[in-house]
Chains A and B, each alone.
Chain A
């Protein structure tokens, strides 16, 4: 979110110059918050996120990383080739954004501050250019094949030399656009590699294209040279087309994966109608909003910031932010969150929170970090990529040398096949492609993945430990057993109590109101008036029954003798019971209990059917923990634990060799979550930036826990398939190409298909947004 005047006003052609001007503008600290977060330490470190253009494989990511690390003041860099994003930590005292942005461009890539308004524009431009390159290659390929066809089917002597020459000439003319335009990115990347003395995937490809073109051109114009008279224009156009097809689909898939991210990140509108002092509205950029501004949000628009509705009522879609899939009604005075959709009516909203303090911004920052993170397996693949490419260059040279004696032209084409067919991309794409896809899919169902590495760890889990409060139970209360005096029915007592409770916001009052809504109709119809809340004690009211009091035993002035005579509800403690009295005569007792989440029992049995041990570990009284555990079907109960004891229990389990996943509310379980192998936080109330868990289930739905484990297992299965495929592919095709048994066009097809297969295989994970339900 930069000043629109900077990048957009520039003409697009003078990109480098305008880039530099835009970068210098980014040196203004006021602009930093658009793409960075201050880390609040002594070195004045900032953490920024960038979108990198021009990256094609792991080796590229490595080059960008090296370029950024070389800048003085940059302390940490993570580049993810799959998502095209980078995370960089830099010191404001030592460097400025323009320094490291130009370092990236000197390395031959282009960096844009992510969450930037014009990132989308650039992406569209890139997509058009890519499509155009692809279409040129495809169309020319078809025509070149037409020209090549007669030479394949004609018997010797059937075609006149003139005709043969004409067809070759025509092929040559149509290969030129493919070489000069469509293959442009291969050459420019290879050239960069040469300049920087580094190596990436495009180097062998560019070399292959060049060799093929030179051999074929020579054969066209001088058929009697040592290179032979064979032309390979059809092979050349074909493999360029295949490679571009592969890359194009890969780009689309990557955009779709990043799409889950971008669906979130580009959620905020660019502009919004703000109320002026005279009451009329004007359109202003969202970044100009200040606290206390009143804005009008139309149906179909997103809320630009966290705020409170001051006029009108509507409903909102908060699915991506809270995991709540139903439309949430929003009346006067209720809070709306940035990034959620206004569904039904125009409302006016007073802005309470803006920028990085909103929940939306926290989620985006979190997802950004994850998309720049590299899982362990991916790092391993990256390390292999470079020596692998060097080996390929040697293998190509060796195969050319080997065949040289037989036929010079064919020897060169064998080398070309080796160069084209190898695909370290499949290897380095295997892990991040799958993990990114699944974290995108999970995000859509309200689960944030904070550490991708944890997906791997989650597959080895054998014990799941739940916290109780806020995890197995709701934060709210529920009315349990009701006991009444003989002259009043339960429903009448509840109706009276809830009529009084309507006037209070106390959790117990809300539980009473909630309970009365699910009960049968109130047949007694006792009117209640003059309700008053005695804060901290209870409620008083007048009714036909007399002077009513609702509250603790002391407040209701119930004597100890009466208390003794009352049948106490089982398990209840004094604090979790409220009494209703009329003229100091006892009417009813309401037991207040914690509300167990509806899906808790289901989730626990799903986990148990996966063969996992389930435990509950809580700081609450053993009695109430046991009651909840019993309800949801957990037999292993640890209650009354101090945080220290919780940690000890966890370490005890780990010493027994168990792999433990801890599910907590993320607030009180910090150390325990940190110590577990995998930690899952129920994120409804948690400040996301502070929680240290590996996963955050935003909706607090417990069914998401077995779903998450299931998805993690699927992910690792697909990662393994991808890695095996990539290894098998390279291990079979490279020797075949070296042996001269693979024509160049087939090599191009093979390479395109192999990386496509990896990406498509990973894409299977994208559809898995619905949790599995076990009956």
Chain B
């Protein structure tokens, strides 16, 4: 079970990595206007 002493700290690091991904998603506007991308094809230019 010694491996847990490595895996648990690793999971903490992983959480921060995932949070980093979420930060990117929010601040590039991935959660806003979710329908807009689908509608984009219908618009000119």
**Chain A interface (Cβ within 8 Å of chain B)?**
124, 128, 131-132, 135-136, 139-140, 143, 146-147, 162-163, 166-167, 170, 173-174, 177
A-B contact pairs, 11 of them (CB 8 A): A131-B26, A139-B22, A140-B15, A143-B15, A163-B4, A166-B4, A166-B5, A166-B8, A170-B11, A174-B12, A177-B19
Are A139's CB and B19's CB within 8 A?
yes
Which of chain B's residues has its CB closest to A130's CB?
A: B26
CB distance from A48 to the nearest CB of B (A): 30
Q: In whole angstroms, how far apart are the Cα atoms of A140 and B27 in the complex?
A: 19
A contact residues around B31 at 8 Å (CB): 131
Is B32 positioned at the interface, with any CB of A under 8 Å from its CB? yes
Contact of A173 among B12, B23, B26 (CB under 8 A): B12
- 8 A Cβ contacts from B6-42 to A: 8-9, 11-12, 15, 18-19, 22-23, 26-27, 31-32
CB distance from A562 to the nearest CB of B (A): 68
A contact residues around B18 at 8 Å (CB): 139
B contact residues around A177 at 8 Å (CB): 19
Q: In whole angstroms, how far apart are the Cα atoms of A128 and B33 in the complex?
A: 13
Task: List 19 extra interface pairs beyond A143-B12, A163-B1, A173-B12, CB under 8 A.
Answer: A128-B27, A132-B22, A132-B23, A132-B26, A132-B27, A135-B19, A135-B22, A136-B19, A139-B15, A139-B18, A139-B19, A139-B22, A140-B15, A140-B19, A147-B8, A166-B9, A167-B8, A170-B12, A177-B19
**Chain B interface (Cβ within 8 Å of chain A)?**
1, 4-5, 8-9, 11-12, 15, 18-19, 22-23, 26-27, 31-32
Which of chain B's residues has its CB closest to A150's CB?
A: B4
Q: In whole angstroms, how far apart are the Cα atoms of A173 and B10 in the complex?
A: 12
Are B11's CB and A143's CB within 8 A?
yes
A contact residues around B27 at 8 Å (CB): 128, 132
A contact residues around B12 at 8 Å (CB): 143, 170, 173-174
Which of chain A's residues has its CB closest to B43's CB?
A: A300
Contact of A135 among B1, B4, B26, B32 (CB under 8 A): B26
Q: Please report the number of residue pairs spanning A and B whose Cβ atoms sit closer than 8 angstroms.
A: 41
Between B1, B12, B15, B27, the greatest number of chain A beta carbons within 10 A of the residue's beta carbon is seen for: B15
Q: In whole angstroms, how far apart are the Cα atoms of A124 and B26 in the complex?
A: 11
Q: In whole angstroms, how far apart are the Cα atoms of A124 and B1 in the complex?
A: 47
Q: In whole angstroms, how far apart are the Cα atoms of A174 and B13 in the complex?
A: 10
A contact residues around B1 at 8 Å (CB): 163
Q: In whole angstroms, how far apart are the Cα atoms of A170 and B16 in the complex?
A: 12
Which of chain B's residues has its CB closest to A144's CB?
A: B15
A contact residues around B4 at 8 Å (CB): 163, 166
CB distance from A129 to the nearest CB of B (A): 9
CB distance from B36 to the nearest CB of A (A): 14
A contact residues around B5 at 8 Å (CB): 162, 166
Which of chain A's residues has its CB closest to B22's CB?
A: A135
B contact residues around A166 at 8 Å (CB): 4-5, 8-9
A contact residues around B9 at 8 Å (CB): 166, 170
CB distance from A235 to the nearest CB of B (A): 19
Q: In whole angstroms, how far apart are the Cα atoms of A445 and B19 in the complex?
A: 43
Q: In whole angstroms, how far apart are the Cα atoms of A166 and B3 in the complex?
A: 12
Q: In whole angstroms, how far apart are the Cα atoms of A370 and B27 in the complex?
A: 34
Q: In whole angstroms, how far apart are the Cα atoms of A143 and B12 in the complex?
A: 8
A contact residues around B23 at 8 Å (CB): 132
A contact residues around B11 at 8 Å (CB): 143, 146, 170
Which of chain A's residues has its CB closest to B23's CB?
A: A132
A contact residues around B19 at 8 Å (CB): 135-136, 139-140, 177
CB distance from B17 to the nearest CB of A (A): 11
B contact residues around A170 at 8 Å (CB): 8-9, 11-12
A contact residues around B32 at 8 Å (CB): 124
7 smallest CB-CB distances across A and B, nearest first, come from A143-B15, A135-B22, A132-B26, A170-B12, A170-B8, A128-B26, A173-B12
B contact residues around A131 at 8 Å (CB): 26, 31
Which of chain A's residues has its CB closest to B14's CB?
A: A143
Q: In whole angstroms, how far apart are the Cα atoms of A124 and B27 in the complex?
A: 11
Are A174's CB and B26's CB within 8 A?
no
CB distance from B38 to the nearest CB of A (A): 18
B contact residues around A143 at 8 Å (CB): 11-12, 15
B contact residues around A124 at 8 Å (CB): 32
B contact residues around A135 at 8 Å (CB): 19, 22, 26
CB distance from A349 to the nearest CB of B (A): 23
Which of chain B's residues has its CB closest to A136's CB?
A: B19
Q: In whole angstroms, how far apart are the Cα atoms of A162 and B26 in the complex?
A: 38
Q: In whole angstroms, how far apart are the Cα atoms of A166 and B12 in the complex?
A: 11
Q: In whole angstroms, how far apart are the Cα atoms of A166 and B1 in the complex?
A: 13
Which of chain A's residues has its CB closest to B27's CB?
A: A128
Between A124, A135, A146, A162, the greatest number of chain B beta carbons within 10 A of the residue's beta carbon is seen for: A135
Q: In whole angstroms, how far apart are the Cα atoms of A132 and B32 in the complex?
A: 13
Q: In whole angstroms, how far apart are the Cα atoms of A167 and B11 in the complex?
A: 11
